[in-house]
């Protein structure tokens, strides 16, 4: 018998706000976190907008000396983890630290540190490279810092599957708990790659939105005038907890984690497989794992990047999995407001999915003025929708053909 797993805490650092309340209020109010790039001079780039985290002070969560020795992606992760633990009410003095783990997703790691130190080497020579360069840059260090900061001595791992990283991490966390290897796992994702080098790289691929004149309208999932994704940054961390462990301490439960599906397109380094067949297999896998039928799903938090092929193929994938129910299920892309957090996307989007179940509110897809060709489902345009949500899935798909889906249900005591 697999053990049951629930979400008992969430923490967010995002372009639409830091903290659960600010994040959720912004999403349900249709607030965009996208603006002109401020971290570097983007004047000569075709894309000049991004979804930056604003007003983040790492010293609210870390000692100043510790903060200086962390790249921003690790700072975001530690901050979100501490907020998630506080939200969960979990007292680790009364818990078994050796059965508390961290499984984190991160697509790129400390790119800001990498870029800074490359400039140091070029301009000042090899001898001026910081001794903290490697431990600040490597992708696993966010998970390591969370474990050290919170003294969690169970498994501590990092999943790197591009934009599917955080969702794959959540799936791995689910398995650890289901199989009885842990009582608690902090999971989700973090990313801080809004720097000139990575930004110019995505521009060279022609993957990002070029709608620079009105930044708040630049991210347009499923819309006819979409021109690419908007890069975002931040961290979304969830406390996954074994149900009996949570009930024993009277924990507040946001939702139950019931299924996980993962697949690979095995097709192309960046393009999704034709008709979204790989994405469809991930959704089918999550539903099968959860023991749910397609008609049980009330809400899909779509990958919805606002790139031409992704939105169209995800729509086709949903139709292939859900059949007639595809026309009835509510779908939204919160990337219309947060931008695309790359490896962290699945973390904040699973939080949004859990809060949609908990509060009975589906966040909207803003900027959806004229649905694109073939994008003919219910994407909850412009305004949030208040409806009961019993079950939902969250999709993320990444370069390299990685696809991942997590299924959640409303927790019903006694069931």
Task: Catalogue the active-site residues.
Answer: 163
Closest CA to 170 of 153, 154, 183, 158: 158
Helix (H, G, I), strand (E, B) or coil at 403: strand
CA Rg, the chain, in Å?
A: 20
* CA–CA gap between residue 299 and residue 282 (Å, rounded): 16
Closest CA to 367 of 379, 380, 382, 352: 382
Q: How far is CA 372 from each of CA 310, 313, 328, 331, 358, rounded to the nearest angstrom?
A: 12, 12, 19, 15, 31
Residue written as token pair 């990958």: 303
Q: DSSP state, 223?
A: B
Contact in structure between 45 and 203 (CB atoms under 8 Å): yes
Contact in structure between 338 and 191 (CB atoms under 8 Å): no
Cα torsion at 282, 287, 290, 293 (round to 10°)?
A: 180
């Amino acid at each position: 018998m697999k053990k049951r797993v629930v979400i008992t805490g969430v923490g967010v650092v995002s372009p639409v706000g830091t903290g659960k309340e600010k994040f959720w209020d912004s999403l349900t109010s249709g607030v965009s976190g996208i603006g002109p790039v401020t971290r570097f001079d983007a004047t000569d780039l075709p894309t000049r907008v991004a979804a930056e985290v604003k007003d983040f002070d790492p010293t609210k969560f870390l000692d100043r000396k510790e903060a200086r020795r962390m790249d921003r992606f690790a700072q975001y992760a530690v901050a979100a983890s501490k907020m998630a633990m506080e939200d969960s009410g979990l007292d680790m003095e009364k818990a078994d630290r050796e059965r508390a783990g961290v499984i984190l997703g991160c697509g790129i790691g400390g790119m800001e540190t990498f870029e800074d130190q490359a400039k140091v080497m070029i301009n000042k020579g090899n001898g001026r490279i910081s001794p903290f360069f490697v431990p600040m840059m490597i992708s696993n260090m966010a998970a390591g810092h969370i474990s050290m900061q919170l003294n969690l001595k169970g498994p501590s791992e990092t999943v790197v599957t591009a934009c599917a990283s955080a969702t794959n991490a959540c799936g791995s966390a689910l398995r650890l708990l289901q199989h009885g290897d842990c009582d608690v796992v902090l999971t989700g994702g973090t990313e801080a790659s809004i720097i000139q080098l990575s930004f110019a790289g995505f521009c060279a691929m022609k993957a990002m939105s070029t709608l620079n004149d009105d930044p708040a309208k630049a991210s347009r999932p499923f819309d006819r005038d979409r021109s690419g994704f908007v890069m975002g940054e931040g961290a979304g961390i969830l406390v996954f907890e074994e149900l009996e462990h949570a009930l024993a301490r009277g924990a507040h439960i946001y939702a139950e984690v019931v299924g996980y599906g993962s697949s690979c397109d095995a097709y192309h380094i960046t393009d999704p497989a034709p008709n979204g067949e790989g994405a469809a297999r991930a959704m089918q896998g999550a539903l099968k794992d959860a023991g749910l039928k397609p008609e049980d799903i009330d809400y899909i938090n779509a990958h919805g990047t606002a790139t031409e092929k992704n939105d169209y193929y995800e729509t086709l994938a949903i139709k292939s999995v859900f059949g007639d129910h595809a026309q009835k299920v509510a779908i939204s892309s919160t990337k219309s407001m947060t931008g695309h957090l790359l490896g962290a996307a699945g973390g904040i989007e699973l939080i949004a999915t859990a809060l949609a179940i908990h509060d009975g509110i589906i966040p909207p897809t803003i900027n959806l003025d004229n649905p694109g060709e073939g994008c003919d489902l219910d994407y909850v345009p412009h305004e949030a929708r208040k409806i009961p949500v019993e079950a939902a899935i969250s999709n993320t798909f990444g370069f390299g053909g990685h696809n991942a889906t997590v299924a959640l249900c409303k927790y019903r005591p006694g069931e």
